[in-house]
Amino acid sequence: MPVLLATTNKGKRAPMEDCLRAWGIFCATPEDYPFEDIEETGETFFDNALLKARHASFSTDLVALSDDSGLVIPALGGAPGVFSARFAAQNGGYDGAFVELEKRLEGLSHRAALFSTMVLYWPDGTYKTAQGQTWGTLLFPPRMGVGFGYYPIFCPDGFDRTFSQMSIDEQRSCSHRIKALTQLKRFFVRP
């Protein structure tokens, strides 16, 4: 039985799918098992991840894996946090969000983290959750390259380049999503 990756975001899905396949787990996507989107109304990453996983599982009768993630900046009280994608949309896209963050962070610490909360949800209502985080520093101006979202401005600890400037393998070696997913590995095969 496949595990449904409950996201249409191919940038999020690709590392999850590659990791699961390496573990011998067959993945399905919303293109394979279509279901209607659900509005993310949660106040935390966990709330949204649970909402998405439960909806996908109930809609398809499959085990579903969801992710809710974002950029957390302590100097801004944790913003944009769970509203990371909406913050970008409100600023005309990620380029606009980068400009706005640079303004808001003037004279403040650029310390930040990428957070990912994942939920693995079974059709019987059972679920498991895990959180991964990668700490680093925000760099301006953005350094474009491979990746999406806030990757052009996020330099993880231990590196001198942003996520966008790193190879796919380097990104995955310190990825917040892979950290969360690895914590769930033992639950993919249930007795």
DSSP per-residue string spanning 20-75: HHHTT--EE-TTTS---------SSHHHHHHHHHHHHHHHHTSEEEEEEEEEE-GG
176 φ, ψ (degrees, to nearest 5): -60, -35
Q: What is the pTM of this model?
A: 0.92
179, 102, 96, 149 alpha-carbon torsion, rounded to 10°: -10
List residues bridging with 66 in a β-sheet.
119
CATH for 40: 3.90.950.10
CA atoms of 176 and 15, how far apart (whole Å): 11
The residue whose two tokens read 């310390």 is 111
The yes-or-no answer on residue 32 being catalytic is: no
Partners of 74 in the β-ladder: none
- Residue 191 has a pLDDT of 40
Q: How many CB atoms lie within 10 A of CB 30?
A: 19
Of the candidates 161, 160, 142, which has an alpha carbon nearest to the alpha carbon of residue 152?
Answer: 142
Residue 77 structural domain: 3-187
Residue 140 burial (C-beta neighbours within 10 Å; 0-12, 13-18, 19+): middle
| Separation between Cα atoms, residue 112 and residue 71, nearest integer Å | 7
pLDDT of residue 190: 52
Q: Which two tokens stand for residue 26?
A: 């067959």
CB 76 within 8 A of CB 16: no
Written as tens digits, the pLDDT of the chain (191 aa) is 899 999 988 888 988 999 999 999 999 999 999 898 898 999 999 999 999 999 999 999 999 999 999 999 999 999 999 999 999 999 999 999 999 999 999 999 999 999 999 999 999 999 999 999 999 999 999 998 887 899 999 999 999 999 999 998 899 899 999 999 999 999 976 54
Please state the domain count of the chain.
1
Selected catalytic residue, list 68, 124, 157, 160 = 68
